[in-house]
């Protein structure tokens, strides 16, 4: 990971220090809600449909974050030769399965 951080011109020690610092909040999310105002964005992170954190960002930071995360996911997908499904895609699969199961019960 440190090698990847160096390529991105980020001091790896800053990243490591944040992860190891017990005073820096750590949040896990498996869902989110998003909204926007006329000057910024708001993301409500969720764990099992319960809010765990609210993050407000400028449009500039939100776009930069979206691009950087997209690049990380693309790297994982290319290196693993697998496509990571989005929650929207998984919801479609689950709904199709639910409908199929209901039809089989008839």
pLDDT digits (tens, 9 = 90+) for 27-49: 999 999 999 999 999 999 999 99
Structure-block tokens of residue 94: 């689950």
Q: What is the dihedral of CA 48, 42, 54, 72, to 10 degrees?
A: 70
**Which pTM value belongs to this model?**
0.74
Is residue 53 within 8 Å of 34, Cβ to Cβ? no
pLDDT digits (tens, 9 = 90+) for 64-90: 999 999 999 999 999 999 999 999 999
């Amino acid at each position: 990971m440190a090698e990847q951080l160096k390529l991105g011109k980020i001091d790896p020690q800053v990243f490591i220090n944040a992860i190891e610092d017990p005073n820096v909040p750590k949040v896990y999310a498996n869902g989110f809600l998003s909204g926007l105002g006329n000057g910024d964005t708001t993301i409500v992170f969720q764990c099992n449909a319960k809010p765990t954190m609210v993050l407000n960002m400028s449009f500039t930071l939100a776009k930069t974050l979206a691009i950087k995360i997209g690049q990380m996911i693309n790297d994982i997908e290319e290196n693993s030769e697998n496509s990571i499904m989005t929650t929207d895609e998984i919801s479609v699969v689950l709904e199709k399965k639910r409908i199929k199961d209901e039809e089989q019960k008839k």
